[in-house]
Amino acid sequence: MKEMREARKRSILKALTWRAIATSTTMVLAYAATGDLKVAGAIGAADVVIKLFFYYVHERAWGRIPWGRNVHFGKG
């Protein structure tokens, strides 16, 4: 049986692009709540470090679960 797994580089790129979107959102909300750009930046920086790690671990764990995947076999 052929196994499909996502490449580590793909998982990393997906994590980085999602973090850019999510951190921007967090920083905007932090600025709206505090009115302080330094505080918003500090919250955004912490957000990146912590959540990037946890997203990667989550993504790799789901990559090991075959449930819900469709595997197509080509001719050859």
In tens, the pLDDT along 8-24 reads 899 889 878 988 898 99
Q: Does residue 50 sit within a domain?
A: yes
Which residue positions in the chain have pLDDT lower than 50?
Answer: none
Q: Does residue 33 sit within a domain?
A: yes
Q: Does residue 38 sit within a domain?
A: yes
Per-residue confidence (pLDDT) for residue 3, from 0 to 100: 65
Q: Does residue 18 sit within a domain?
A: yes
Mean pLDDT over the full length of the chain: 88
Percent of the chain scored above 70 by pLDDT? 92
Number of folded domains that form the chain: 1
Boundaries of domain holding 33:
8-63
Three-state SS for the chain is CCCCCCCHHHHHHHHHHHHHHHHHHHHHHHHHHHCCHHHHHHHHHHHHHHHHHHHHHHHHHHHCCCCCCCCCCCCC
Contact 8, 56 (CB under 8 A): no
Q: Does residue 72 sit within a domain?
A: no
Q: Does residue 47 sit within a domain?
A: yes
Q: Does residue 74 sit within a domain?
A: no
